Structure 1
Amino acid sequence: MNLTFEPTSLNGSTQIATQFRQPDFTPGVIGRAWRSDGFSSSVSAPLTLDAHRGFTIETWIALESYPSDAEVPVNALKPASFLNQADGRRGFDLYVDMFGRWGFRLSTPDGNQRIIATLPFPLARWALVGVTFDPAAGLARLFLDGKPVGEMRTRAGKPFVPAPGDLHVGLSWQDAELGIFRVNGLNAAFDEVRVFDRALAPSEIEWDARAVIPPNAAASLAVPASRFATDLARPVFHAMPSANWTNEPHGFVRRGNEWHIFYQRTPNGPYKTEMHWGHMASKDLVNWTYLPDALWPTLQTDTFGFDMKGIWSGDVVIGSHGLAYAFYTSVNHSRDLFNPGISVALSADPDLRTWRKRGPIIDAKGLRDFRDPYVWEEGGEWRMIVGAAMPGGGGGLAYYRCANIDDLKCWKKQPRIAPFERMDIGSDIWEMPVFEPIGQNKYILVANPIGGSVSKYGDKATRAVYWIGRWDGSAFTPDQLAPKLLDLIPGHLSPTVARDRAGTLEAIGIVDERRSTRAQKAAGWAHVFSLPRAWRLLDDGMTLGQSPLPALAELRDPSRRLSGVLSELAGDSMIGDLGASSELIVNFEGDVGSHPYGIILATSREGEETTRLMYDPATRSITLDKRKSSISSDAEGPMLLSGSYDEAAFGKPRTFHVFIDHSVVDVFINDAAAFSFRIYPVRSDSTRLGVIGATAATVRYEGWAMRPSSFVSDVVLR
């Protein structure tokens, strides 16, 4: 058998399963490779093995990431299969688990026997895997790149016990399930599966490996543009991973001339389990390079790893000697071994690609729970705050200090830095804290309270809140105990920050999905990052101002522009169509009157789909009306949202600066107030723009179609 993925060799006997419109193919080692998506795709082909003759199987594999699984202890894992023709008691299975442990299972009359490879399976490069079994000699061998990596003895003369059915590529014989998802698929590329009806000699296996010099795997592991080419919801100029699931960006740091952002990632499908730290880099915060995952769960023993259940959010800082430190939340399956814990990894790389884990440094002693460290240097020592569930109930922060960041034991817990019980809004725990100087000798403290009376779609919606106040090195005194809302309307949360060369705080958060899990599965991706926002303290000394990144103007398409002036508005006025990715600036000049006014977005030609954004001067409130945003039933959450607007701080709304990128919208008012949200129009013509108002004001508008950002895949380790 010689299974290749060339168009001329595929026939009706080879079945390629995928939920997408067509299978993914990328450059391979020999010719064209099949690119699995990690959760929905697999290949099957007929295969008959003689129980007595023996066999050899060879295939080229480029594995981007180890497979996922449900969050279960090691003995309950269900590994993924590179290749198998098996059930529980018959056949063979060439497998790999979520920790990179891999091997070969073979069924004989004496039961199942295994070869376990001595080293983890390599990531982000092409590898030639080979398996041989000689029943007469009772010997099975496992090879990697032509070299033996394990063998096992069976009783000589005992046959192989084949399993019925097809050979499967990228599909395990047993599913690990998480809700509606199969989570033990493979995120990989495969090229040329060859099966021989005899056991090749080791010299022949070595010759096969030497006969071909495999190419760089970057192009092979890049997600083909065809996968999402017809997806009307997928943004094109917002930062996001190339596929699958993401959540909070964090570890935002500038090193030299390059920005790095680390983020929560499940690389194998649009579901949440066993977090990795994804990694992207940019020189301008507009165009991005995908880099290899920075961190993922590992084991220190056969059954235990301090972060075996996930590499959750944290922070990256650069020490005075240039070494980078990644502080992250680690969880495992023990009762008390730093579960949860704050762990640290180090990188000496200029491009922060490779990291060495040092292990856990802080446990949650004295707290009900904690997560998401934020670290800074001050006064010659290091400080850390961690989002916490406080011992007396409610959310708050734990605070630690350390004189020597290289000393794992130096972090000492400090007294509370603020009256959290009076600042909390009824949550159970705070997440993703940020603490930075903001100007006028003041600091900003940002947190994301969750749980308790806070829920995603409740009256207290999950969102980022902040306080402005004074910091004396040991205590934070907020100007007011009640938090302010980072965004006027819920939809954006968990911002991470870093400073540009001028010292301006740049912030990027997550704009999470507001559609069903079923829709996320069908899309093959979930969540998107917000556009970068520049933060500053407004003149009142109490309010955060947020502006869009000026560099985004580079994406404007000057050939697709609209502009104009409207006077004496008496209602809705449509002004043009710039497509699904656009930027619009609308200025209301003069007397706006007392009636609501605003803008119309993502509107179809006949108005079946439309989104309306209005300001009401009488109530001083912003209203987002999504009741007709989509004719699909997949959208979730309230469709009519309202938020109060502080005219004293932000000024009367004059300038609406809006970025529309398919399903994500970022809004800036007067370059001061901001919010982001999701919409899911399904009509391809839902791209028209307009203005709302019954006002004598003069309305000037200008807009551009936006070109996609550049996203380059560089997943191969150097």
Structure 2
Amino acid sequence: MKKYIIVFLTCFAVLSCKTKKDPTPDPTPIPTPVPNSAKEILFFGFNENSGQSLDETKTKSSFTINGPVNSAERIVGVEGNALRVNGYYGWATGNAKVTYPTSQVCVTGWIAPAAFPVQRKDLDPITENTIAAIFSNINTTNSSGVALGINHHGRLIGQFKVGTELVQILSEKEIELKKWSFLSLNINAVQGTATLFLNGAKIKDITFPGGILAWDNNATIYIGKESKNKTIAGFETNGLSGAIDKVSVWDKNLSDTEILAQYTAVTPSEPILKIPTDVRFANDIHRPKYHLMPSAAWTNESHGLIYVNNKYHIFSQRNFNGPYLEHINWGHYVSDDLVSWNEKTQVLWPEPGFDEVGIWSGHAVIKNGEPFIFYTGVNKSRAGIGLATSTAPYDVWKKNANPIITNAPTSFANADFRDPFVFQNNSEWYMMIGTGLRNGTPRGGLFLYKSTGGDFTQWSLQGTMLEGNPSVDGTGDFWEMPIYYNFGSKAIVLINKLPNANALYWSGSFNGSQFVRDNAVPERLDVINQLLSPSIGQDSNGNLTAIGIIPDGVSSTKHKAQGWAHVFSLPRIWTLVNGKIKQVPHPNLLKLRGAVANFSNVSFGQSTSNVLNGASGSQYEVVATIDPGTATKVGFSINKNIVTNEQTLIYYDYSTSSFVVDRSKSSILTDVPLSNQSTNYVLPAGSVKWRIFVDASVIEVFVNDELAFATRSFPSTANNILDLYAQGGAANAIDLKIYNINGGGVASVSRGVNDKKETMHPTVYPNPSNANFNIKFNKKEDAVVYAYVFDIKGFPLKKIESVLNSENQTINWDGYMENGNKANEGIYIIKGFYNEELFDAKLIVN
């Protein structure tokens, strides 16, 4: 027997998008017209290159940027730098020694929102606006002060107090996402007038009883958040998400001409708002690298997997303001191959009307070559079904002005309805919607509608397509995220039942009004319940492909610390055999495979360990055929750490005919799942074929080319040992391969597999050296450089950021690590970006 040793090293990938905390060249500012009569009493330029503070230049006051250490981020602004804010952190607070004017005031500033801020669905009255402010110094006790920002629907909003009256001015115009906009608010308290301007144009006027502006000169100033504190699960909910630049407070009104001149004085470039994932999460050992997931913040259900114009599109529930469930948008991801994905701008978000609280789950279909989105729109009282359409390249979607189904049928007692799924049966189109029926025994059900028009705007209720019987089928009292698919001779209906969420399905047939089940009791989609709410669509070869969500199962504290929530499964191919869905990894995943270690005829048992010669890693695939022999428990030890005694066991228990995930020792960390998972399933006698994908905290398992399940594991260290596991006897791995994953499937970053560019190799001198390495670029241009020095194992040791100009094209590493210690003798690598170009170089410490 010959064994090959392989060690998988998780390399912290560097910098796949432009920048975190971009130190940006500070160009010579374009002179901004200054009014003759008005004076800036406060100005925030945000031109600091780094650090957790910013300067107010008129009073020389210092403001603190909220968030974890080294979390403050800058991007290129309208002039110089801009401050990036991230919904639940990143805003600035402080005080300035200034006397505010009591008769007139003007507030101006630039904003590039990545998403609109949160209005809490259950906690905020519909009449209360979020005021995510570019400037706010409101005393929350007596409401004195002034605020200017945007509300939860992207409308400009100002608030101030005159005498004893609280005044609010709200525009009807929604500003653009991911574009720079110039906001202005004039208040003339004595005359009783206020005006909002957007991009130099007047958009809203109001009048009110004249008087004196009320201020608290000692009130805290917020830049990027309203003064109120509103929270959910420990998250601040009323901060901005996006970027802010050039915020000013003036002691008098500016004229219309002066405000227009302020706007036209600069011509900002497109704001770079993509999350710098490879930098922000460089030290996150739990973040997957080749599974589809959003760049940051919250996601849950996927929906609308479609293939159109040679591209795959999938959508998902998204809160861009933080890793918590609220103010849901529809995120959007595009791929050429179902493996490498690019995250796009959200396609749907809450707007005043029937979807003003959230854009919940739904489906997408292709009809006559055109895509249609169906979604659940939520307001404070009920849900309705919305429709949206698009044209190539399908980045921008237009909503139907009104819901196509206004609310749940009144002819059936029900507990809400949501999650439309549209399908074609012969020449007719149908829609099923999940619900909880309440006439009699509480049970899940599916309302059925039939399209009565060619444009999907008219639908007729047909009754219920399917109803549950919880005492018999265990399907709970509410069904969501339903799926229908006709395989030919048989069809399936899949539902996600509540409570205790689980994806269950029946085979059967649809007769035009009801689904006729083959069996009363449904099948589990996954043999162990972890994957939920799959989205289905045909791939380019006609294979039914599914992608579901694999929840983290961690606490909100952990979500807040890691900055992201949940991940999607790898694409799976579904077929129906004897009334059961068989699941296998999509064949396109083969392109992820890198170096392989081969093993054969490996005997292992209760007293053996390290039979794979110390194979380890955080991203890999295992393919194995195992004869259980005399063992009663046979499987794998994953994320094994001998020092900390951590391991996650995945095995089949022949004594109980059960698959088991033992996470009782999976981590010494808190706020992560440690519960065991198991399900009875009778395997046929003989060898078992295993195929396992490990991607940091995600583990997906496929058995005998038919069964699948997923789980999560959060060990305290990366690059842990993989071993075989057996109890009660000896087993034999007839054949076993371990494939390193190359990382080509990295999801939701700005740079995918098909975007690779030539790597620059700057000159390093002196090299070797024991200190003061100079890295020189052969360029003649202004540039932002952001990089890390890595050791030979890929661990980041030192962050380097610098601004270069045509005369200075050299950055420096002094030979010290981030912890202040001198680097040991050996080989090191510096990797990073020079503007948008990737570079690397070898550094030899002697």
| TM-score computed with the length of structure 1 as normaliser | 0.89
Report the equivalent of 1:174: 228
When structure 1 is superposed on structure 2, of 178-187 and 498-507 the one drifting more is 178-187
Contact (CA 8 Å) 1:487, 1:673: kept in 2 or not? yes
Report the equivalent of 1:302: none
Larger Rg: 2
Q: How does 1:121-270 map to 2 (within 5 A)?
A: 121-133=175-187, 140-152=194-206, 158=212, 161-217=215-271, 219-223=272-276, 225-270=278-323
* Aligned mate of 2:376, from 329, 334, 344: 329
Contact (CA 8 Å) 1:138, 1:158: kept in 2 or not? no
In the aligned structure 1, how far is the partner of 2:470 from the partner of 2:512? Answer: 21
Cα deviation, residue 680, structure 1: 1.3
Q: Find out whether 1:65 has 2:100 as its counterpart.
A: no
Q: Give the count of matched residue pairs.
A: 684
Report the equivalent of 1:692: 725
In the aligned structure 1, how far is the partner of 2:694 from the partner of 2:131? Answer: 41
Q: Find out whether 1:292 has 2:345 as its counterpart.
A: yes
Contact (CA 8 Å) 1:189, 1:221: kept in 2 or not? no
Q: How does 1:73-84 map to 2 (within 5 A)?
A: 73-84=125-136
* Aligned mate of 1:639, from 655, 670, 675: 675
Contact (CA 8 Å) 1:434, 1:446: kept in 2 or not? yes
Deviations 1:377-406 (A, max 9, x none): 222110122222123321122222224242
In the aligned structure 2, how far is the partner of 1:367 from the partner of 1:502? Answer: 43
When structure 1 is superposed on structure 2, of 407-416 and 524-533 the one drifting more is 407-416
Cα deviation, residue 343, structure 1: 2.7
Report the equivalent of 1:22: 71
Q: What is the identity, as a one-letter code, of the residue corresponding to 1:531?
A: L
Q: Find out whether 1:567 has 2:602 as its counterpart.
A: yes
Contact (CA 8 Å) 2:625, 2:735: kept in 1 or not? yes
Contact (CA 8 Å) 1:89, 1:111: kept in 2 or not? no
* Aligned mate of 2:553, from 502, 514, 520: 514
Report the equivalent of 1:458: none
| C-alpha spacing 1:482/1:267, structure 2 compared with 1 (3 Å) | same
Contact (CA 8 Å) 2:701, 2:709: kept in 1 or not? yes
In the aligned structure 1, how far is the partner of 2:103 from the partner of 2:621? Answer: 67
SS of equivalent residue, structure 1 residue 564: strand
Q: Find out whether 1:669 has 2:703 as its counterpart.
A: yes
In the aligned structure 2, how far is the partner of 1:97 from the partner of 1:480? Answer: 51
* Aligned mate of 2:636, from 579, 582, 599: 599
In the aligned structure 2, how far is the partner of 1:228 from the partner of 1:367? Answer: 47
| C-alpha spacing 1:394/1:110, structure 2 compared with 1 (3 Å) | closer
| C-alpha spacing 1:3/1:315, structure 2 compared with 1 (3 Å) | same
Cα deviation, residue 421, structure 1: 6.4
Cα deviation, residue 573, structure 1: 3.2
Q: What is the identity, as a one-letter code, of the residue corresponding to 1:222?
A: I
Q: How does 1:141-540 map to 2 (within 5 A)?
A: 141-152=195-206, 158=212, 161-217=215-271, 219-223=272-276, 225-299=278-352, 305-320=353-368, 322-334=369-381, 339-362=382-405, 363-365=407-409, 366-369=412-415, 370-390=417-437, 391-392=439-440, 393-406=442-455, 408-414=457-463, 416-417=465-466, 424-439=473-488, 441-451=489-499, 455=500, 462-538=501-577
In the aligned structure 1, how far is the partner of 2:424 from the partner of 2:395? Answer: 20
| C-alpha spacing 1:54/1:705, structure 2 compared with 1 (3 Å) | farther
Contact (CA 8 Å) 1:52, 1:160: kept in 2 or not? yes
Deviations 1:219-251 (A, max 9, x none): 234345432222222112111111111111012
When structure 1 is superposed on structure 2, of 177-186 and 467-476 the one drifting more is 467-476
In the aligned structure 1, how far is the partner of 2:616 from the partner of 2:476? Answer: 42
Report the equivalent of 2:138: 86
Gaps of 5+ in 1: 300-304, 456-461
Q: What is the identity, as a one-letter code, of the residue corresponding to 1:4?
A: G
**Percent of residue pairs bearing the same amino acid type:** 31
In the aligned structure 2, how far is the partner of 1:407 from the partner of 1:484? Answer: 32
Contact (CA 8 Å) 2:131, 2:225: kept in 1 or not? no
In the aligned structure 2, how far is the partner of 1:220 from the partner of 1:340? Answer: 32
In the aligned structure 1, how far is the partner of 2:103 from the partner of 2:435? Answer: 62
| C-alpha spacing 1:493/1:154, structure 2 compared with 1 (3 Å) | closer
Contact (CA 8 Å) 1:653, 1:670: kept in 2 or not? no
Contact (CA 8 Å) 2:161, 2:213: kept in 1 or not? no
Q: What is the identity, as a one-letter code, of the residue corresponding to 1:609?
A: E
Q: What is the identity, as a one-letter code, of the residue corresponding to 1:331?
A: V
Cα deviation, residue 93, structure 1: 0.4
In the aligned structure 2, how far is the partner of 1:8 from the partner of 1:470? Answer: 63
| C-alpha spacing 1:62/1:437, structure 2 compared with 1 (3 Å) | same
Cα deviation, residue 59, structure 1: 1.9
Contact (CA 8 Å) 1:69, 1:78: kept in 2 or not? yes
| C-alpha spacing 1:8/1:319, structure 2 compared with 1 (3 Å) | closer
* Aligned mate of 1:2, from 43, 48, 51: 43
Contact (CA 8 Å) 1:361, 1:411: kept in 2 or not? no
In the aligned structure 2, how far is the partner of 1:401 from the partner of 1:652? Answer: 49
In the aligned structure 2, how far is the partner of 1:403 from the partner of 1:644? Answer: 45
In the aligned structure 1, how far is the partner of 2:526 from the partner of 2:211? Answer: 72
Cα deviation, residue 109, structure 1: 3.0
In the aligned structure 2, how far is the partner of 1:149 from the partner of 1:408? Answer: 33
SS of equivalent residue, structure 2 residue 321: coil
When structure 1 is superposed on structure 2, of 510-519 and 347-356 the one drifting more is 347-356
Contact (CA 8 Å) 1:60, 1:192: kept in 2 or not? yes
Deviations 1:418-447 (A, max 9, x none): 7756864151111111111235x1112211
Report the equivalent of 1:97: 151
Q: What is the identity, as a one-letter code, of the residue corresponding to 2:534?
A: P
In the aligned structure 2, how far is the partner of 1:157 from the partner of 1:86? Answer: 18
When structure 1 is superposed on structure 2, of 512-521 and 467-476 the one drifting more is 467-476
In the aligned structure 1, how far is the partner of 2:552 from the partner of 2:306? Answer: 25
When structure 1 is superposed on structure 2, of 33-42 and 561-570 the one drifting more is 561-570
SS of equivalent residue, structure 1 residue 119: strand
In the aligned structure 2, how far is the partner of 1:416 from the partner of 1:137? Answer: 63
Report the equivalent of 2:834: none
Q: What is the identity, as a one-letter code, of the residue corresponding to 1:401?
A: K
Cα deviation, residue 417, structure 1: 4.9
Report the equivalent of 1:459: none
SS of equivalent residue, structure 2 residue 431: strand
Contact (CA 8 Å) 1:374, 1:384: kept in 2 or not? yes
Cα deviation, residue 57, structure 1: 3.1
Q: What is the identity, as a one-letter code, of the residue corresponding to 1:564?
A: F
Cα deviation, residue 689, structure 1: 0.5
Q: How does 1:25-64 map to 2 (within 5 A)?
A: 25-47=74-96, 48-52=98-102, 54-64=104-114
Report the equivalent of 1:586: 624
Cα deviation, residue 63, structure 1: 0.5
In the aligned structure 1, how far is the partner of 2:211 from the partner of 2:433? Answer: 62
In the aligned structure 2, how far is the partner of 1:16 from the partner of 1:578? Answer: 40
Cα deviation, residue 415, structure 1: 5.2
| TM-score computed with the length of structure 2 as normaliser | 0.76
In the aligned structure 1, how far is the partner of 2:76 from the partner of 2:615? Answer: 38
Cα deviation, residue 137, structure 1: 6.7
In the aligned structure 1, how far is the partner of 2:392 from the partner of 2:181? Answer: 25
Cα deviation, residue 623, structure 1: 1.0
In the aligned structure 1, how far is the partner of 2:687 from the partner of 2:229? Answer: 54
In the aligned structure 2, how far is the partner of 1:241 from the partner of 1:677? Answer: 19
